[in-house]
């Protein structure tokens, strides 16, 4: 499996950690941040859960051994992003934000899935 899969895992884990620390990084593009990018404690808790999920799935993509374990980790990431696209894409209050977030989530899901199909091998395989 190509090295790109591991880089996407690193990016996913980094983003997960970032939104745990600063939930407005997810709330703002979703239209959920208030004035001055304030995020309610309830929204921050849910965003933190998404961040933890992303941190874990990204770490799995980065650290899982090549082959089936890493394919499963990528599958979890693709399903998570697809779920985000469906839920955020249908339930965010602002129609423009729904479209933007759903497109971004599906784009990342597609990139992760495609990374497993590209020719090449990880250095350790």
| pLDDT string in tens for the chain (125-residue length) | 458 999 999 999 999 999 999 999 999 999 999 989 999 999 999 999 999 999 999 999 999 998 999 999 999 999 999 999 999 999 999 999 999 999 999 999 999 999 998 766 554 44
The answer to whether the CB of 56 falls within 8 A of the CB of 32 is no
The answer to whether the CB of 49 falls within 8 A of the CB of 112 is no
The answer to whether the CB of 97 falls within 8 A of the CB of 29 is yes
Q: How many CA atoms lie within 13 A of 76 on its CB side?
A: 18
3-state DSSP call for residue 24?
helix
List of residues 6+ apart from 3 with CB closer than 8 A: 120, 122, 123
């Amino acid at each position: 499996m190509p090295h790109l899969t591991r880089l996407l895992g690193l990016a996913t884990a980094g983003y997960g950690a970032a939104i745990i620390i600063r939930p407005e990084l997810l709330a703002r593009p979703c239209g959920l941040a208030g004035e001055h990018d304030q995020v309610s404690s309830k929204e921050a808790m849910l965003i933190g859960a998404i961040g933890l999920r992303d941190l874990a799935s990204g770490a799995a993509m980065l650290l899982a051994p090549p082959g089936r374990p890493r394919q499963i980790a990528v599958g979890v990431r693709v399903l998570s992003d697809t779920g985000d696209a469906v839920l955020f894409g249908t339930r965010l209050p602002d129609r423009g934000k729904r479209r933007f977030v759903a497109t971004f989530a599906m784009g990342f899901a597609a990139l992760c899935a495609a990374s497993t199909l590209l020719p090449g091998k990880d250095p350790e395989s």
